């Protein structure tokens, strides 16, 4: 594997202006395939979810899956596209064993959705509009496994196995127009764009949107041109970049590689590139030219797909709130700062917080519990926070126990552990574990006296009005009572004792 | 049970057989066995069948007989054609029998599923006698392009039975089956019908499901009936027709008045249009004479004969030979040795998938198939698409407009089905263009998606061979063809004193009587 020369990103940016373009393939989660009644299920035994249509048997004909058309229209609408009243499928002819008919049934000159856009919010809040050229329907190919070679690639393999379970799975391919003007933020924008598409299709419920399973796959086009030049440079297309991080890295790498090629005075070769996660580099795939001849022609076995305006409007009415708009609304409703909200989103607990608030908690309480207690535990358990087993009701109950003074925060954390250990509801656990705040002031006063005596200089400061020093005394009391005291009450008693207004 | 001998039994029409079966004057096992015996006797000479399905056919026949014998509701519900045997062109996939498409590339292949029309035949309990010969993947007009040897015309064993459905037509003409299924992409049902003295119907595109018919050119292919009488084709089309959710191009219209139309019995006041461009120059004199005779008979029966012009038909053959091969090049791409059928490994050199596919296709396809794949691949290529495929589609629209204009002046159109009678085996094998010209009168109907019926019009004076008369109607008006066809048939039979096939020479129950024509082998 040859190693390409690269320029530093900064140097590349000084000299060149990147232009991006993305083709994102989204596998739809319809019950059956795009053109056959075989189940659309991931992960089953090879060649079990196939029928004569998926195997390209002689005599078979395709039938368009209406649910897939519906999902495609929804995607188109969510991408602010126009929906074609009538569109056709075409045949893309090429010989390859993962394509059982040796042509792929796809849309060519008549996509179902076209001329849309997506506003992408970058981390610092900058909004970047990405224009969508088209979103079209097609079928997925089967999966080839190359056996016996060292690389797992077809070159050098002894033989190859084909699994047609994926053959015919409905796909929507979303193609952007050339994305100009991203400058040094191109890698970040790339990641944010793919993340946004993934979020949209997940939110629509039309795809499982799991990148690790190939539900969302990205081909990233990159070209560079000297600053000030309008004409695009020659592009490379990095295929199947299948994680958000990889999208960012691949775009960054290609920018650096292109810059090095251009610096050397050589022309960039128009080709596909393979992304390697281990080395975070790309290698040359097959040369691709615009003259690649797939001999497209209208699929004669299918009639045009008609999308009446009534149907489109019906579907539009069923669309869920767009994720970006929803986030904006929730942040405003909850009164979180930008930083707080971003942390919530990044931790993946926005939905959980929304549910917890709906169950009766305040926005700050919900955030305190999810961000302060649950996210950490989920990380340790290596699960999504929402899968840890904490219900909004549990949090509401825990909070009530704290608010009523029955337990303090430290105890509440222990109760939460009890809930997760399956010991029962919070109140039960308080009972069983004998957790209750010491509410008799007698023992507390003794402990306070002892603490004040132990730190006379601190007591003096408090008397002098430096109330922030009180923590040291409270800490001493809590230590003495092994955390069983109500810190709030301890504070009150200390101030009382010292005759200071709180 | 029956008083008819086998020779008489096999000469009955399907409609007559249906009546006798329903009346229990004859059993389906007797009928089916009579046909199987006939196949055993004469098919060595005709070579209409690639596979004979005796066991299953007899089992279905016995089932029908048992139901009829038991009587009751189940017997009442039997389809009119239950127990009437049928032959199936080997382009249509069947469970339990091989399907070869006449090609080496599918030799020995068994379909895991039934075509929709086969499901319908099974539902009607019609015993399937076997699979009939055809030009490889239905590409040809003589059945000489079959990888399994040519079929011979029962009228003259040195002559071709037409194509691509020569097997189905010859089987019906030789009394090896009362009915058969064919497929018609540019005339493959009608032209064999014409040259064998049988009836062949290409229904409206979409009237019969194509699911399970191995595609040649998807936008032109249509399954249809082959029979000895017009009524029999109507009966069969009602069995196999109707909407099929597995074929997106299938029509939702009901086609249930076909049999009634065939029984209407008059053409008084109907306007019948002669297409100026579909007779005259290039048509054999004997063909022209029989054609004119049919016009006279229709006129006498009260039809009004008008002349119409379809000026764009002169481009039809050229456009057809761009659209058809374009679709062929894509439809036949699946035959690559990867999943089923023949797999040939390259003799030497690296064993790559491309080379295995190449070796398989080189060995598995015959010359005519390769010719069309190459033609179509070229026509669809970037830079040529607009000039070839694009222009051909425009011609298609012009042909449709010609038909629209013609049908504004006439209820049905009439022409000879083919320009000549059956030619000799080998005569046109090395001249593809001459071969293609056989379909000059049948292709326009496929290009426009309209129905076309061919029925026997008599024998040509110069060679005593059958001439076919073609009737054309607007899309979805298949019934009109059966109406006019049945009237013309009865007028002609009155003139002949019986069916035309009664004049066919008796086939010897022996080894090939005529000299074998080695040029007839597949190439």
pLDDT one-digit tens code per residue, A52-63:
999 999 999 999
CA atoms of B341 and A101, how far apart (whole Å): 14
Report phi then psi at B161, rounded to 5.
-95, 15
Helices then strands, each counted (H, E), chain A: 17, 16
Q: Does A495 touch chain B if contact means CB atoms closer than 8 Å?
A: no
CA atoms of A251 and A187, how far apart (whole Å): 5
* Residue B212 near residue B115 (C-beta atoms within 8 A): yes
Confidence (pLDDT) at B2: 53
Report phi then psi at A52, rounded to 5.
-60, -30
Q: How confident is the model at residue A290 (pLDDT cuts 50, 70, 90)?
A: low
Among A82, A35, A38, A12, residue whose Cα is nearest residue A307: A82
What are the structural domain ranges in chain B? 6-312+398-504
Among B42, B12, B85, B103, residue whose Cα is nearest residue B340: B103
CA atoms of A61 and A53, how far apart (whole Å): 7
Map residue B50 onto helix, strand or coil. strand
Is A102's CB within 8 Å of B336's CB?
A: yes
Q: Does A293 touch chain B if contact means CB atoms closer than 8 Å?
A: yes
Catalytic one of B13, B141, B168, B188: B188
pLDDT tens-digit map of A192-206: 999 999 999 999 999
Instruction: Nearest chain B residue to A155 by CA: give it.
Output: B352
Residue with tokens 């579909």: B278
* Residue A413 near residue A377 (C-beta atoms within 8 A): no
Q: Which range has highest mean pLDDT (A211-215, B1-5, B180-184)? A: B180-184
The CATH homologous superfamily for domain B6-312+398-504 is Amidase signature (AS) domain (3.90.1300.10)
The dihedral region occupied by A32, where left means phi > 0, alpha psi between -120 and 50, and beta the remainder, is beta
pLDDT tens-digit map of B393-451: 999 999 999 999 999 999 999 999 999 999 999 999 888 888 888 899 999 999 999 99
Q: Does A161 touch chain B if contact means CB atoms closer than 8 Å?
A: no
As a residue count, chain B comes to 523
pLDDT tens-digit map of B231-242: 999 999 999 999
Specify the DSSP class assigned to residue B11. Answer: T
Map residue A116 onto helix, strand or coil. strand
Instruction: Give B396's contacts in chain A (Cβ within 8 Å).
Output: none
Those residues whose C-beta lies under 8 Å from the C-beta of residue A227, and which sit 6 or more positions away, are A15, A16, A17
Rounded to an integer, the average pLDDT of A368-381 is: 91
CA atoms of A101 and A92, how far apart (whole Å): 10
**A174 HSE (CA, 13 A, CB side):** 31
Among B29, B14, B37, B10, residue whose Cα is nearest residue B68: B29
Question: How far B334 CA lies from chain A's nearest CA (Å)?
Answer: 4
Q: A16 has which bridge partners?
A: A226
Report phi then psi at B106, rounded to 5.
-115, 20
Instruction: Nearest chain A residue to B216 by CA: give it.
Output: A59
pLDDT tens-digit map of B352-363: 889 999 999 999
Residue from the list A56, A96, A300 with its beta carbon closest to the beta carbon of B339? A56
User: Does the pLDDT at position B177 exceed 90?
Assistant: yes
CA atoms of A239 and A219, how far apart (whole Å): 4
What are the structural domain ranges in chain A? 9-316, 321-432, 441-498
Q: A130 has which bridge partners?
A: A118
Is B249's CB within 8 Å of A293's CB?
A: no
Confidence (pLDDT) at A438: 64
Is A58's CB within 8 Å of B218's CB?
A: no
> CA separation (Å) from B406 to A243, A290, A455, B280, B452?
62, 45, 113, 18, 15
Map residue B425 onto helix, strand or coil. coil
Whether B141 sits among the annotated catalytic residues: the reply is: no
> Minimum mean pLDDT among A213-217, A474-478, B26-30, B380-384: which range?
A474-478
ipTM above 0.85, yes or no: yes
- Residue B112: CB atoms within 10 Å: 12
User: Does the pLDDT at position A386 exceed 90?
Assistant: no
Among A174, A220, A169, residue whose Cα is nearest residue A197: A174
CA atoms of A368 and B254, how far apart (whole Å): 68
User: Does the pLDDT at position B383 exceed 70?
Assistant: yes
Map residue A137 onto helix, strand or coil. strand
Two tokens, residue A169: 């799975």
* Residue B182 near residue B223 (C-beta atoms within 8 A): yes
Those residues whose C-beta lies under 8 Å from the C-beta of residue A253, and which sit 6 or more positions away, are A6, A280, A281, A282
Two tokens, residue B85: 């045997």
Is A93's CB within 8 Å of B330's CB?
A: yes
* Residue B31 near residue B498 (C-beta atoms within 8 A): no
Return the sign of the alpha-carbon dihedral for residues A89, A92, A95, A99.
negative
Rounded to an integer, the average pLDDT of A398-402 is: 89
Three-state SS string over A266-289 comes to CCCCCEEEEEECCCCEEEEEEECC
Among B169, B222, B226, residue whose Cα is nearest residue B192: B169
Two tokens, residue B18: 């249906």
- Residue A264: CB atoms within 10 Å: 10
> CA separation (Å) from A379 to A346, A387, A388, A422?
13, 11, 10, 19
Q: What is the secondary structure of B43-102 as a DSSP string? A: HHHH--EEEE-HHHHHHHHHHHHHHHHH-HHHHHHS-TTTT--EEEETTB--TTSB--TT
Q: Does B328 touch chain A if contact means CB atoms closer than 8 Å?
A: no
Confidence (pLDDT) at A289: 57
Map residue A93 onto helix, strand or coil. strand
Task: Tell how strand A236-241 and strand A271-276 pair up.
Answer: parallel
Is A103's CB within 8 Å of B330's CB?
A: yes
Residues of chain A above pLDDT 90, percent:
66
CA atoms of B422 and A138, how far apart (whole Å): 47
Residue from the list B210, B246, B389 with its beta carbon closest to the beta carbon of A297? B389
Q: B113 has which bridge partners?
A: none
Is B214's CB within 8 Å of A295's CB?
A: no
Among B10, B287, B46, B9, residue whose Cα is nearest residue B159: B46
Whether B522 sits among the annotated catalytic residues: the reply is: no
Catalytic one of B13, B28, B89, B141: B89
Is B248's CB within 8 Å of A293's CB?
A: no
E strand or H helix at A92: strand A90-93
User: Does the pLDDT at position A288 exceed 70?
Assistant: no
For chain B, the average pLDDT equals 95
User: Does the pLDDT at position B513 exceed 60?
Assistant: no
Alpha helices in B281-423 (DSSP H): 285-300, 316-331, 353-364, 367-380, 391-409
Q: How confident is the model at residue A107 (pLDDT cuts 50, 70, 90)?
A: very high
Whether B516 sits among the annotated catalytic residues: the reply is: no
| A157 burial level (CB within 10 Å; 0-12, 13-18, 19+) | middle
Catalytic one of B28, B103, B164, B227: B164
Report phi then psi at A482, rounded to 5.
50, 40
Among B363, B361, B424, B369, residue whose Cα is nearest residue B91: B369
User: Does the pLDDT at position B138 exceed 70?
Assistant: yes
Return the sign of the alpha-carbon dihedral for residues B435, B438, B444, B446.
negative
Q: Does B396 touch chain A if contact means CB atoms closer than 8 Å?
A: no
User: Does the pLDDT at position A219 exceed 60?
Assistant: yes
Two tokens, residue B474: 């607007």
* Residue B271 near residue B409 (C-beta atoms within 8 A): yes
| Higher local confidence (pLDDT), A123 or A296 | A296
Architecture of domain A441-498: Orthogonal Bundle (1.10)
**B248 HSE (CA, 13 A, CB side):** 20
Going across the sheet that includes B199-202, the strands are B49-52, B128-132, B86-89, B179-183, B223-227, B199-202, B452-459, B466-472, B412-416, B271-275, B304-308
Two tokens, residue A296: 């497209």
Q: B87 has which bridge partners?
A: B130, B180
| B80 burial level (CB within 10 Å; 0-12, 13-18, 19+) | middle
Among B236, B226, B230, residue whose Cα is nearest residue B91: B226
Rounded CA Rg of chain B: 22
Angle made by CA atoms B123, B128, B132, in degrees to the nearest 5: 135
Map residue B51 onto helix, strand or coil. strand
E strand or H helix at A414: helix A409-420
pLDDT tens-digit map of A7-57: 999 999 999 999 999 999 999 999 999 999 999 999 999 999 999 999 999
CA atoms of A79 and A217, how far apart (whole Å): 17
CA atoms of B63 and B257, how far apart (whole Å): 29
Two tokens, residue B143: 């059945």
């Amino acid at each position: 594997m040859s190693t390409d020369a690269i320029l530093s990103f900064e140097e590349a940016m000084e000299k060149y202006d990147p232009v991006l373009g993305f083709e994102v393939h989204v596998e739809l989660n319809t019950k059956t395939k795009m053109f056959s009644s075989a189940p659309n299920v991931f992960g089953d035994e090879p060649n079990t979810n196939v029928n004569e249509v998926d195997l390209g048997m002689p005599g078979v004909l395709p039938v368009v899956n209406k649910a897939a058309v519906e999902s495609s229209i929804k995607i188109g609408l969510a991408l602010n596209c126009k929906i074609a009243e009538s569109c056709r499928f075409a045949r893309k002819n090429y010989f390859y064993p993962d394509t059982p008919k040796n042509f792929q049934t796809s849309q060519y000159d008549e996509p179902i959705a076209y001329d849309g856009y997506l506003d992408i919010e970058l981390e610092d809040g900058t909004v970047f509009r990405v224009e969508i050229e088209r979103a079209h329907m097609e079928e997925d190919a089967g999966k080839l496994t190359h056996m016996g070679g060292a690389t797992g690639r077809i070159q050098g393999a002894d033989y190859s196995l084909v699994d047609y379970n994926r053959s015919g799975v409905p796909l929507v391919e979303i193609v952007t127009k050339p994305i100009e003007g991203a400058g040094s933020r191109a890698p970040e924008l790339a990641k944010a764009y793919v993340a946004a598409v993934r979020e949209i299709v997940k939110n629509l419920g039309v795809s499982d949107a799991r990148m690790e399973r190939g539900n969302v796959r990205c081909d990233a086009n990159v070209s560079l041109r000297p600053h000030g030049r309008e004409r695009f440079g020659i592009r490379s297309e990095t295929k199947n970049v299948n994680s958000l991080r990889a999208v960012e890295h691949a775009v960054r790498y290609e920018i650096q590689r292109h810059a090095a090629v251009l610096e050397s005075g050589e022309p960039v070769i128009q080709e596909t590139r393979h992304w390697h996660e281990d080395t975070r580099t790309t290698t040359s795939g097959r040369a691709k030219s615009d003259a690649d001849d797939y001999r497209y022609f209208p699929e004669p076995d299918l009639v045009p797909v008609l999308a009446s305006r009534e149907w489109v409007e019906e579907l539009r009415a069923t669309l869920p709130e767009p994720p970006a708009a929803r986030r904006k609304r929730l942040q405003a409703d909850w009164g979180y700062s930008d930083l707080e909200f971003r942390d919530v989103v990044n931790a993946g607990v926005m939905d959980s917080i929304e549910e917890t608030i709906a169950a009766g908690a305040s926005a700050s309480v919900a955030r305190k519990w999810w961000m302060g207690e649950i996210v950490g535990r989920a990380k340790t358990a290596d699960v999504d926070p929402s899968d840890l087993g904490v219900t909004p009701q549990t949090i509401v109950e825990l909070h009530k126990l704290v608010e009523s003074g029955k337990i303090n925060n430290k105890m509440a954390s222990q109760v939460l552990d009890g809930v997760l250990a399956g010991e029962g509801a919070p109140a039960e656990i308080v009972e069983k574990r004998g957790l209750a705040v010491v509410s008799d002031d007698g023992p507390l006063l003794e402990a306070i006296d002892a603490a004040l005596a132990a730190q006379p200089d601190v007591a003096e400061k408090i008397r002098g009005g430096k109330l922030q020093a009180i923590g040291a005394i409270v800490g001493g009391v809590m230590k003495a009572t092994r955390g069983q005291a109500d810190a709030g009450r301890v504070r009150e008693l200390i101030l009382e004792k010292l005759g200071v207004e709180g | 049970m029956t008083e008819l001998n086998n020779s008489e039994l096999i000469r009955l029409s399907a409609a007559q057989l249906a009546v006798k079966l329903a009346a229990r004057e004859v059993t389906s096992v007797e009928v089916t066995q009579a046909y199987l015996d006939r196949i055993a006797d004469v098919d060595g000479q005709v070579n209409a069948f690639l596979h004979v399905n005796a066991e299953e056919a007899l089992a279905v026949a016995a089932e029908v007989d048992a139901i009829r014998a038991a009587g009751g509701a189940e017997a009442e519900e039997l389809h009119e054609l239950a127990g009437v045997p049928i032959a199936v062109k080997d382009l249509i996939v069947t469970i339990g029998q091989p399907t070869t498409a006449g090609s080496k590339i599918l030799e020995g292949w068994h379909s895991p599923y039934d075509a929709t029309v086969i499901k319908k035949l099974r539902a009607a309990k019609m015993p399937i006698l076997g699979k009939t010969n055809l030009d490889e993947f239905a590409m040809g007009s003589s059945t000489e392009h079959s990888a399994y040897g040519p079929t011979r015309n029962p009228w003259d064993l040195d002559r071709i039975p037409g194509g691509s459905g020569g097997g189905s037509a010859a089987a019906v003409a030789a009394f090896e089956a009362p009915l058969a299924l064919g497929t018609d992409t540019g005339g493959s049902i009608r032209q064999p019908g014409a040259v064998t003295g049988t009836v062949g119907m290409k229904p409206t595109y979409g009237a019969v499901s194509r699911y399970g018919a191995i595609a040649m050119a998807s936008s032109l292919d249509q399954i249809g009936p082959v029979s000895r009488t017009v009524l029999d084709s109507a009966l069969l089309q009602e069995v196999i027709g109707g909407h099929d959710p597995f074929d997106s191009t299938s029509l939702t219209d009901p086609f249930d008045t076909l049999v009634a139309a065939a029984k209407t019995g008059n053409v008084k006041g109907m306007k019948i249009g002669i297409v100026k461009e579909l007779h005259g120059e290039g048509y054999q004199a004997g063909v022209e004479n029989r054609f004119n005779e049919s016009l006279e008979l229709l006129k006498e029966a009260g039809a009004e004969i008008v002349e119409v012009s379809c000026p764009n038909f002169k481009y039809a053959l050229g456009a057809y030979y761009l659209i058809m091969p374009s679709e062929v090049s894509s439809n036949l791409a699946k035959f690559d040795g990867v999943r089923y059928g023949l797999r040939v490994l390259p003799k030497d050199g690296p064993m790559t998938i491309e080379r295995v596919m190449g070796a398989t296709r080189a060995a598995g396809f015959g010359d005519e198939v390769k010719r069309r794949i190459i033609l179509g691949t070229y026509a669809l290529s970037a830079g040529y698409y607009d000039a070839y495929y694009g222009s051909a589609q425009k011609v298609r629209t012009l042909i449709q407009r010609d038909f629209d204009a013609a049908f504004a002046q006439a209820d049905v159109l009439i022409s000879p089905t083919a320009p000549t009678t059956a030619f000799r085996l080998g005569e046109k094998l090395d001249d593809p263009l001459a071969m293609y010209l056989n379909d000059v009168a049948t292709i326009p109907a496929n290009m426009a998606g309209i129905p076309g019926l061919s029925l026997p019009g008599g024998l040509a004076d110069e060679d005593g061979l059958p001439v076919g008369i073609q009737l054309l109607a607007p899309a979805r008006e298949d019934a009109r063809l059966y109406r006019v066809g049945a009237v013309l048939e009865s007028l002609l039979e009155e003139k002949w004193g019986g069916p035309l096939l009664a004049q066919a020479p008796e086939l010897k129950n022996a080894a090939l009587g005529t000299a074998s024509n080695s040029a007839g082998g597949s190439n």
